[in-house]
Every structure is written in structure tokens, then in C-alpha cells.
Amino acid sequence: MQMRLRAAALAAVVPIAFTTAAAGQTGFRTPDGQPDLQGVWDFRTMTPLQRPEDQERAFLTEEEAAAAEAAASARRAALLEPSEVRTELLPAGGTGAERGRRVGGYNDFWLDYGTNIIEDRRTSLIVDPPDGRLPALTPEGERLRQVGSLAEDLPIPSPVRVRSAGTGADDPEDRGLAERCLLGFNSGPPMMPSGYNNNMQLFQTPDHVVILNEMVHDARIIPLDGRPHLPDSVRQWMGDSRGRWEGDTLVVETTNLSELTGSFDPSAMQAIGTGLTVTLTERFRRVDADTLLYEYTVDDPAIFTRPFTVAVPMRRNDEPVFEYACHEGNYGLLNILSGARAEEAAQQ
């Protein structure tokens, strides 16, 4: 059962600094003069991470973007119609927002990929390299690349580093990290637009920033006091993050990710490399009252032939973040394992 996350409880742990900018002033500031990045931010978008292979242009026209958004809105509205109407309105295949009648882990009514192209109409969230696609992999990157699906076992050895899918059903460790409620499939770091729970809440104090993701209610508490990173031998699921201000931009550098995570996960069912060799640099900048620009650069010379940068405009969300009670209702993992045992017993 999901429970509403009480702002008062969080405020007791992390004092909230309210905006002091008055009408007519430029910028949003906390009482101690920092740029005010606080709030709940929604990072849903139809814009894909990589530019489609059949798309040569970096930007859609206004007409193309409007048509894509209208079609997505119609598909979303059709999910509220009776089943006999949905059969006519929704496509039978496709991926992402186009997965109309696919039977999977959820009724697609619950999926929420968004219905908007990002404002500048880019054809990819990747802004560098200029072709809008992930750089080529090194030989080590190819060796450590994991790709699976919800219906098929991963054709790779353990450990499983993808967020969803797995190598079998002998043990919990055979399943993906999100299936085991260890990491959300969009919470990162870095944060990735995905099927649902595309919200994060940012809190500030003079010497810390907290990034709370709605997915699996993961929270990163990031010091701003210049302390060094943890020793290289200490590895964590979400790494070790350190923040600093560069003008009005909050810069967060994350190292010390675990070898049990990917260097980068293009989707919940893909993991490239491991967290041992990656440095992630995230940038947060308040563009206007309703937009927080989130950019990140992945630098892992052991896995990718060059760094790459992604930009995701986040929109203010006036709704609260909800607690994602993953393990409390995680009967899916139990059923996967118990179903495999029942199948084995029936074959004896």
C-alpha cells in the first residue's frame, strides 16, 4: 500500500529553506543566498534518450511535435475508454508510449511515459555527441553489455546488473535490481525518464542537498562542504556524491558506484559496463519558475570510447511525492521463484 509522504516528517530531518525572491526580482534564492532549486520535479517526456536511427534531423518541426503529442494524448485518453473502444484506438505493438494493448507486468493504464516532447523539440535527450546517440563501446564495454527482456532470460553471466529481467529463477540474485527492490529503474543516478514515478523532490540546506526519488523512495544526501570522496574500496548502490556550486548551477559528482550496477543503463532492460570505472557529473540549474534543467555527463573510458552528455528539462509538479512501498507488495519476485519451484516439482 502506498502511503503519502508527509512533508512535515521530511522537514524534521531536512530543514527546508523557502524562496525569498519577490515579484520583480530575478532568480530564486534561499535565505543563505543559494539558488533555490527546491520542489517536486517531473521528468516525464516522450523524447527518447537516443535519436532514432531513421531520424536524420536534430529537431522536429512544430507540426511534427504537435502531431506526436496529439497522438500520445489520444492513446492516453483511450486507456480510460471501455475495452471494446480501446481495441480500436490503441496499437497492438510498439514500445514506450505506443505499447497500447501489450500484456505485461502491468495493465498499461498504469504506465505514464508522458505526452510531451521537450520544449526545444530535440529528437534525442543526448546532446553530445552531436548525432544524438550513445558513443561506441570499447571491447570491454561490449563484453560487459547486458540486454534482456521481461519474457526471456538474459544471455549473459551473473551478476545481473540490469534493473529488470534476469538470468533465471533459481535464486533472488538471478533477477534484476529493480525486481529485487534494490534500485528503481529510473532513479539512477543518473535519473532517466521511464514508465512511471518520474518525479524527484529536491531539498536544500546551507551545506547539503537531498535528492529524493519517488521510485523506490531512494534518497541521496549530498554534502556541499568540499569533503573528499570515500576511499575507492567503499562501493555503494548509488555511489558517493559530492556537490558544489558553479555560479547558479549545482554540480554533483558521483563516483564509487558498485560493480553490481551498470556504468550506464540505457533502459531498465539494458546495462552497459559496471560502476567500477564511471564518473557521473550532474548539473542542476533553475531556468524559470517551472523548469529545472537537469544535465549529466557519463565519463567511463573503460566502457565508452568518449564521454556523452544528456539534458532533461524537468517541470515543476504541484503534487506531492508518494512513498513507493516496493518490498511490502513485492509478490512478483515471490511468484517468480515459487512458480519455478512448482514447475520443477511437476517435471519430477
pLDDT in tens, the chain (348 residues): 333 333 333 333 333 333 333 333 447 999 999 999 999 999 999 999 999 999 999 999 999 999 999 998 888 887 766 554 444 444 444 434 444 344 455 667 778 888 899 999 999 999 999 999 999 999 999 999 998 876 566 767 679 999 988 888 888 898 899 989 899 999 999 999 998 999 999 999 999 999 999 998 889 999 999 999 999 999 999 999 999 999 999 999 999 999 999 999 999 889 999 999 999 999 999 999 999 999 999 999 999 999 999 999 999 999 999 888 887 777 888 888 999 999 999 998
Give me the phi and psi of 294, to 5 degrees please. Answer: -110, 120
Q: Side chain identity at 19, as an amino acid letter?
A: T
Bridge partner residues of 296 (DSSP): 282, 310
Q: What angle do CA 162, 164, 165 make, to 5 degrees?
A: 90
146: three-class secondary structure by DSSP: strand
Q: Which residues contact 229 (CB under 8 A, 6 or more apart)?
A: 240, 242, 255, 256
C-beta neighbour count of 101 within 10 angstroms: 17
Residue 294 in contact with residue 37, Cβ under 8 Å?
Answer: no
C-beta neighbour count of 167 within 10 angstroms: 21
pLDDT value at residue 110: 77
How many whole angstroms separate alpha carbon 221 and alpha carbon 211? 7
Single pTM value for the model = 0.84
CA 206 to chain centre: 27
Which residue from 203, 237, 212, 208 is spatially nearest to 224, judged by alpha carbons?
208
C-beta neighbour count of 339 within 10 angstroms: 11
105's enclosing H/E stretch is none
